[in-house]
A = this chain, B = another copy of it.
Amino acid sequence: MGNSTDFFNMNISELNEHNVSLKERYAEYKNQTMNLDMSRGKPCPEQLELSKGILDIVTSSDSLKAFDGLDCLNYGGVDGIPEAKELFSQILGVSSKEIIIGGNSSLTLMHDTLSRAILHGVYGSELPWGKHSTVKFLCPSPGYDRHFAICELLNIKMITVDMLNDGPDMDTVEKLISQDDTIKGIWCVPKYNNPDGITYSDRTVDRLANMNTKARDFRIFWDDAYTVHHLSKKPDDLKNILSACKEAGNPDRVFIFCSTSKVTFPGAGVAAVAASVENLNYIRKQIAVQTIGPDKINQLRHVRFLKDIDNLRRHMGKHAVIIKPKFEMVLNKLESELGGKNIATWNKPNGGYFISLNTLDGCAKIVVKMASEAGVTLTAAGATFPYGKDPRDRNIRIAPTFPSLKELEKSIEVLCICIQLASVNKILTEK
């Protein structure tokens, strides 16, 4: 049934007929006992291969001194070696004084920054956030499940805000944060948003930087996870949030996070947080109590391998060569299987790791369940919303990078059959 009839224009007998043929196709796939995983944004083995040189670049015969003379084999340097700060300053477009290098995980930097805010407040707080009876965060959604998990762990109440084509629904954001001083922050994945691939417009960045927040110690948690992860030759541009905040007279409003997890190796990369010098001085004291400092040898490896932003961009180009065909295949398949049927919409990202698909309302959970029963694991339905609850039960996150093209093709076929089956059933039920 590769045709593209609008399902809503079919009569009951046409729908029933279609249902039978879809069930047959579904049963066929189910019999193949597949085991395919599209649930997480993991680089594929070919991508990991691109960075293997990093394993050979710092040996016992190489210099192990940082630019400032620090011996990277010994204690010292709680916030990163100068050359690592320089590299991240190029990636994020900030001064190297505005960078603290962390360990291997930007998630940890985000968790710890928020956890410290609960325990101690942020620069300028009158009270630790945890001393207020309620702390709330705005969560533009669909968004990143692990951000939401941090809020849940720390007892921060999440308020869902819609994602529009140019970022969060700023009218709603501005209204909420101007009235409620218990709203202490907002999660943002501003470039190639997880999962919908949207990049915030300049206007959105400016509004975030300029808005009047009732909480004086409001913070934007700016997870710039995909800042160099382009898929298109015309990559999206993202306005510099730290500069915008400075211009707006709110220099301390933002914490920017990023890592090389999807540049080199997930789990063995280097993470960084960028913010105003005042913000960083405030947390540096706490970090100095928390740790003897991040792994300096791994920072050396990264700097010597990635060199500078130009070389890093070339490196990311090689990633794109590997994963772009996977995104294209998914998009082509979605178009050929679901196009014109009026039962699903999806985005076409210029970068990042995901394709976000919306089914008819109320169909996402059943689709994910059916796909799973046919051996295709998708991100849990609802995961892209606070508390795992998608209010319209329609969002499905597709992570195309890890599976092979062949596996991916099968997975998407199964997905499209499940979506059609769920849609036919929904429409029949409602007729």
Contacts and interface: CB of A to CB of B under 8 A. Distances in A.
Contacts of A73: 48, 51-52, 265-268
A146 B265 contact: no
Given A42-B75, A55-B59, A119 B291 contact: no
Given A53-B60, A74-B43, A119-B119, A268 B297 contact: yes
Contacts of A77: 267
A111 B293 CA distance: 13
Given A74-B43, A267-B75, A290 B112 contact: yes
Nearest to A120: B153
Interface in A296-312: 296-298
Interface in A13-53: 40, 42-43, 45, 48, 51-53
Interface in A178-226: none
A260 interface: no
A338 to B, nearest CB: 29
Contacts of A118: 119
A355 to B, nearest CB: 19
Interface string A280-292: 0000001001111
A295 interface: yes
Nearest to A269: B295
A104 B103 contact: yes
A289 B146 contact: yes
Contacts of A59: 55-56
B107 A291 contact: yes
A396 to B, nearest CB: 21
Contact of A292 (B60, B62, B150, B267): B267
B107 A261 contact: no
A149 interface: yes
Given A76-B267, A118-B119, 15 more contacts: A42-B75, A48-B73, A51-B73, A53-B60, A55-B60, A73-B268, A75-B261, A103-B103, A104-B292, A105-B292, A105-B293, A108-B290, A111-B291, A112-B290, A268-B297
Contacts of A62: 55
A115 interface: yes
B71 A291 contact: no
A130 interface: yes
A72 interface: yes
A67 B214 CA distance: 53
Chain A to chain B: the 3 pairs with minimum beta-carbon distance, closest first: A52-B60, A75-B266, A268-B297
B111 A290 contact: yes
Contacts of A150: 289-290
11 contacts: A42-B74, A48-B74, A55-B58, A74-B267, A105-B292, A108-B292, A118-B119, A119-B119, A153-B286, A267-B297, A268-B297
Given A115-B115, A289-B153, A60 B56 contact: yes
Contacts of A149: 289
A48 to B, nearest CB: 4
A294 interface: yes
Contacts of A153: 120, 286, 289
A76 to B, nearest CB: 7
A332 B173 CA distance: 70
A154 interface: yes
A273 to B, nearest CB: 15
B107 A154 contact: no
Given A48-B74, A56-B59, A119-B119, A107 B292 contact: yes
Contacts of A130: 119, 130
A16 to B, nearest CB: 44
